[in-house]
């Protein structure tokens, strides 16, 4: 789950108006520890949907500043990852 801006591109894209049609995204997170020169990368590919009001969590903080009132849920279908070793 993540939060973004109402009325933005993600909000518009998720409103396809077609039943049974999923908007799919890829979401990647990387981490490198400069001291050990190692890290990891995880890639999630999945459908994404607006999150109903009753399923929202106040613990989820947006990573970008400003108003981020649109809650979005990622339902992972494919998860891949790799280790990073810097030479």
Give the burial class of 62: count Cβ atoms within 10 A of its Cβ; 0-12 exposed, 13-18 middle, 19 or more buried: middle
pLDDT of residue 78: 95
pLDDT of residue 80: 97
The ranges of the chain with pLDDT < 50 are none
CB atoms within 10 A of CB 33: 11
CB atoms within 10 A of CB 71: 19
Q: Indicate the domain borders of the chain.
A: 2-85
Nearest to 7 by CA among 67, 74, 75: 67
pLDDT of residue 38: 97
């Amino acid at each position: 789950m993540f939060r973004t801006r109402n009325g933005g591109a993600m909000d518009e894209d998720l409103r396809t108006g077609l039943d049974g049609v999923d908007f799919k995204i890829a979401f990647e997170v990387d981490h490198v520890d400069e001291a050990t020169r190692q890290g990891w990368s995880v890639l999630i590919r999945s459908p994404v949907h607006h999150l109903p009001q009753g399923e929202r969590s106040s613990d989820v903080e947006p990573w970008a500043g400003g108003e981020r009132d649109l809650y979005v849920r990622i339902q992972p279908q494919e998860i891949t990852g790799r280790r990073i070793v810097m030479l």
